Structure 1
Amino acid sequence: MLDEREAWLGIDLGTQSVRALLVTADGTILGRGSAPLTSRREGNRHEQDPGEWWDRVCTATRQALQGPHHARIGGLAVCGTSGTVLLTDTLGRPMSPALMYDDGRASDEAAQARAAGLRVQNTWALPKALWLMEEYDRPAPTPRTHRPHLHLVRATPFRLAHQPDVIVARLTGEVPPTDSSHALKTGYDLEHGTWPYGPLAQLGLPDGLLPNVVRPGTPLGEVTPEAAEATGIPARTPVVAGMTDGCAAQIASAALRPGSWNSVLGTTLVLKGAATTPVHDPTGVVYNHRAPDGSWLPGGASSVGAGVLTAAFAGADPATMDTRAASYEPSGAVTYPLLSPGERFPFHAPTASALLLGETDNDADLWAALLQGVAFAERLCLDYLDHLGAPLDGPLTFTGGATRSEYWNQLRTDILAREAHVPEQTDPALGMAALAAHGTGAGPLPELAERMVHITTTLTPDPHRTALFAEPYTRLIDELTTRGWLPPPVAAHAHARLSRDTET
């Protein structure tokens, strides 16, 4: 039986900030904290200073734990951005910048990995690991293009780490194994539970670089007295293995029963679902995480997202712009609003760029076009999942920062032509609190999540508005197909689903 006096701490290492939540078994938020993070962007490069993560974690957890909550902290878990990696020394201390989830500098290395038989995308962690080793662990000062391949028998002073590993090492005082959720984009084979050492040897990754891997929710250690003093977290608090931020948000939506889906709309768009078996995609666009109970969490991450609004309208008030945008349904232009070059889901197109079909009358019309364009991309993601045979018959939940916009929530619901639910608390840190409870023996994760997550809004699609947006969505599908980005069979399936959803 759960002890209602217990609470669990979730820590989310996001793109723009660190967030921490202290949550009870019934979902009551006892404390919250946050601290901003800074990034360095240059062209297709995106880095963060991993030393800043620890400083911001200390700030966020101290904020979350201040005040008279009178709860015993039963455990904690940490999530991070998927595909973010760095090099550390053997004690877990950072030895390189962190190459972030959307850093695209390792396209050549990605091609090498694919040639070795590994299904990876350009921004995944494995290509970036290869790039980091070429930069920091050079066996000789020869040009990169002529450097001989290394073998997996050579030792290295470096260790590859994912974002949460750095924080867990500081919390527990030990270099931890990584969780299988973060290891996925580094090439870890979830179905067989092992690193693909043969192909990795062909790529020249040295012995000792890759961490051991455990399932999410596995106990990793306890908070040390030194870490307790820095963070405010009581010493000996259990630390369990976390998951990626997309999976954390999925837990925070309670979308863990087969057929359920969570659409996370933040800086970028991520869709995560639940299934009893993996969803196989020969293109590698859709990949499968593994849940703590051994079931599967298929999904994908797009380069489209709410970040385009910030990029195009720095300093604008979103509520005011939403009100003005409501007069442009549909917009005079159709967009596919990529935040950075290349698309990874719902299609693989490394050369894709943001597109704008038609002209907008003013900034309100452009804002409307961007809102609608993101929703079109979201619909195309679901069309593609349906094309692959993924189960879509469960509830759909919206989470992410974009859910603060009631107008956009309804617009997305209408364009998707399906009911959607919005939880009261959409922070991935809530998902980590639920995972911490599971990892410390409080119960099965789906039941814990359903108890902690409070659905406050249910949105119903308006068929007339679904039909209103059918023509611009059709134009977008056709343009993506003409440009060679969207495979014709996927386009045909999207057209068929649209016809079904707009039948009168």
Structure 2
Amino acid sequence: MWLGIDLGTQSVRAQVTGDGGELLGSGSAPLTGERDGIRHEQSPADWWNAVRTACAGALRDGPRPRALAVCSTSGTVLLADARGRALSPGVMYDDGRAPGRGPGRARLLLAEYGPGRVLHQADWITARLAGRLLPTDSSHALKTGYDPATGGFAAPGLPAGAAPDVVLPGTVIGATSREAEAAAGIPAGTLIVAGMTDGCAAQIASGALAPGSWNTVLGTTLVLKGVTAEPLHDPSGVVYSHLSPDGTSLPGGASGVGGGALRAAFPAADPAALDTLARAREPAGAVAYPLGSRGERFPFTAPEATGFLLGTPASDADHWAALLQGVALTERLCLDYLDLLGAPVHGPVTFTGGAVRSAYWTRLRAEILGRTVRIPAASEPAFGMAVLAAYGAGAAGAAGAPGTLAATAGRMVRVREVIRPGDGSRWAGPYLVLVDELERRGWLPPEVAAHARTRTEGAWGTP
């Protein structure tokens, strides 16, 4: 049995999973934070209390996990002393005082609360579970300036003594204490395996771990994550990569398009009813770029980008159809961009996130991508951490011969549904209209637009 813990923005979730992927227990607890303008902080004590509640719920029927792993929101950090006691609030990933990747948020902590040791959200919880500071993982450390290529923190980096020790995800880094057993019900001596960020945890849960496979998580926004045999180099910085325990690279990017734009346009809508009406509007009378808020990060960087509609929708249903289609067209552009960078994009594709609740949207996205799509039975980051815990304990010799994370996920991840695409040639026209407009506005680089056109002609011919 394996325990996965997910530290989210609004809640903590815990799952106990069997070796075949079966759910044996689950629990959750809410989280709240404090926002003041661009400032967004949470209390580390609240994180720990929520972990205690969630784990007690997951273990209430008596399962005894052999190992656990923890994921947290990427970029959330705090400052601690040498014994792991919190010296600062938790500065959340979307705190605007030090935006972007790199050591900026860590430097903010040191300036306001230092000196001390920079910990990621998951690190502080593993320290409480073990009763001592443990190494962080290279996945969480990526947002505090860790360079996977060199194995160190990139210049300007962090002051001496402030940077945590870093290990590869899936490494056994400690075991739970008797105090953790008394507080959260986790048996003392349970192995603690170095985790990953929540996005990587969701990718593990999807089973997309073989080179060439991709997972798209569609909810409020759109996130693509995949696997390449070698690190993927992107001079523009649009795509960044985590290290996999299997020695592969996990490239990905996050776009601002997604369900957030639909909710903003139709705050009181019945999505299922509008989905039914949208079926008759393929393609819609307008082409949409459904960006939920100002600024875009993937498949291009444009801080000034905003959502738009080309054309006038004939009705609310036509507008809704344009938004659904626009997200899928952007998803296709993301894959075209990854192909331009040299990533293999013809492997299996999985869909996760809240959007998979719409059978119509799922079928539409598969058709526009021109890909067979798998929907996993479970996609929660906590489940992904249970899979990573199983891998880590096995690699440490606790569960027989060492294996790979991909093989462990292959044993534990179950596919709920397979969607095969229909003829997508009718989407060539709207897709090229969107590509042309993004290039005309100066957001999409000309070489990316040209590559998208070439791939469109190869897949669908000239519209």
TM-score by length of 1: 0.84
Structure 2, gaps ≥5 residues long: none
Aligned residue runs from structure 1 range 100-499, under 5 A: 100-106=92-98, 122-134=99-111, 136-137=112-113, 156-196=114-154, 198-200=155-157, 205-314=158-267, 316-441=269-394, 442=399, 443-463=403-423, 466-499=424-457
Map of 1:18 onto structure 2? 12
Q: Which letter maps to 1:126? A: P
Using the alignment, how far apart are the partners of 2:284 and 2:276 within structure 1?
14
Does the CA contact (< 8 Å) of 2:217 and 2:224 recur in 1?
Answer: yes
Map of 1:82 onto structure 2? 74
Q: Which letter maps to 1:334? A: V
Using the alignment, how far apart are the partners of 2:76 and 2:431 within structure 1?
33
Q: Deviations along 1:78-97, whole A, 9 cap, x unmatched?
A: 11122222333443344444
Q: Which letter maps to 2:449? A: A
Using the alignment, how far apart are the partners of 2:5 and 2:457 within structure 1?
43
The 3 A distance-change label for structure 1 pair 327 and 166 is farther
Question: Secondary structure at the residue paired with 2:287?
Answer: strand
Does the CA contact (< 8 Å) of 1:84 and 1:125 recur in 2?
Answer: no
Q: Deviations along 1:445-483, whole A, 9 cap, x unmatched?
A: 1111001011121111111xx233332222221221122
Deviation for aligned residue 1:360: 3.7
Q: Deviations along 1:94-114, whole A, 9 cap, x unmatched?
A: 4444343344443xxxxxxxx
Using the alignment, how far apart are the partners of 1:498 and 1:40 within structure 2?
46
Using the alignment, how far apart are the partners of 1:427 and 1:316 within structure 2?
26
Task: Give the share of equivalent positions with the same residue, in percent.
Answer: 59
Q: Deviations along 1:213-234, whole A, 9 cap, x unmatched?
A: 1110112222222222332222
Deviation for aligned residue 1:391: 1.1
Q: Which moved more, 1:71-80 or 1:323-332?
A: 323-332
Does the CA contact (< 8 Å) of 1:222 and 1:238 recur in 2?
Answer: yes
The 3 A distance-change label for structure 1 pair 444 and 266 is same
Using the alignment, how far apart are the partners of 1:351 and 1:40 within structure 2?
28
Does the CA contact (< 8 Å) of 1:85 and 1:125 recur in 2?
Answer: no
The 3 A distance-change label for structure 1 pair 51 and 479 is farther
Q: Deviations along 1:134-178, whole A, 9 cap, x unmatched?
A: 4x05xxxxxxxxxxxxxxxxxx42222212112112211212221
The 3 A distance-change label for structure 1 pair 62 and 290 is same
Using the alignment, how far apart are the partners of 2:281 and 2:90 within structure 1?
41
Q: Which letter maps to 1:21? A: Q
Q: Deviations along 1:204-258, whole A, 9 cap, x unmatched?
A: x433221111110112222222222332222221111101112111111221111
The answer as to 2:65 corresponding to 1:73 is yes
TM-score by length of 2: 0.91
Using the alignment, how far apart are the partners of 2:274 and 2:33 within structure 1?
27
The 3 A distance-change label for structure 1 pair 306 and 87 is farther
Does the CA contact (< 8 Å) of 1:83 and 1:186 recur in 2?
Answer: yes
Using the alignment, how far apart are the partners of 2:320 and 2:90 within structure 1?
33
Does the CA contact (< 8 Å) of 1:333 and 1:358 recur in 2?
Answer: yes
Does the CA contact (< 8 Å) of 2:15 and 2:382 recur in 1?
Answer: yes
Does the CA contact (< 8 Å) of 1:90 and 1:157 recur in 2?
Answer: no
Q: Which letter maps to 1:493? A: H
Question: Secondary structure at the residue paired with 2:282?
Answer: coil
The 3 A distance-change label for structure 1 pair 268 and 169 is farther
Map of 2:84 onto structure 1? 92
Using the alignment, how far apart are the partners of 1:50 and 1:303 within structure 2?
29
Does the CA contact (< 8 Å) of 2:210 and 2:227 recur in 1?
Answer: yes
Q: Which moved more, 1:48-57 or 1:445-454?
A: 48-57
The 3 A distance-change label for structure 1 pair 258 and 330 is same
Structure 1, gaps ≥5 residues long: 1-6, 107-121, 138-155
Using the alignment, how far apart are the partners of 1:58 and 1:362 within structure 2?
50
Does the CA contact (< 8 Å) of 1:336 and 1:377 recur in 2?
Answer: yes
Q: Which letter maps to 1:460? A: R
Deviation for aligned residue 1:129: 2.3
Deviation for aligned residue 1:419: 1.1
Using the alignment, how far apart are the partners of 1:236 and 1:265 within structure 2?
38
Q: Which letter maps to 1:447? A: A
Q: Which letter maps to 2:283? A: P
Does the CA contact (< 8 Å) of 1:172 and 1:224 recur in 2?
Answer: yes
Using the alignment, how far apart are the partners of 1:449 and 1:158 within structure 2?
37
Q: Which moved more, 1:32-41 or 1:412-421?
A: 32-41
Q: Deviations along 1:251-293, whole A, 9 cap, x unmatched?
A: 1122111111111223332211112111111111111211113
Tell me the matched-pair count. Answer: 455
Deviation for aligned residue 1:317: 4.4
RMSD: 2.4
Does the CA contact (< 8 Å) of 1:101 and 1:123 recur in 2?
Answer: no
The 3 A distance-change label for structure 1 pair 62 and 158 is same
Using the alignment, how far apart are the partners of 1:295 and 1:494 within structure 2?
26
Using the alignment, how far apart are the partners of 1:88 and 1:354 within structure 2?
41
Deviation for aligned residue 1:31: 1.5
Q: Which moved more, 1:320-329 or 1:186-195?
A: 320-329
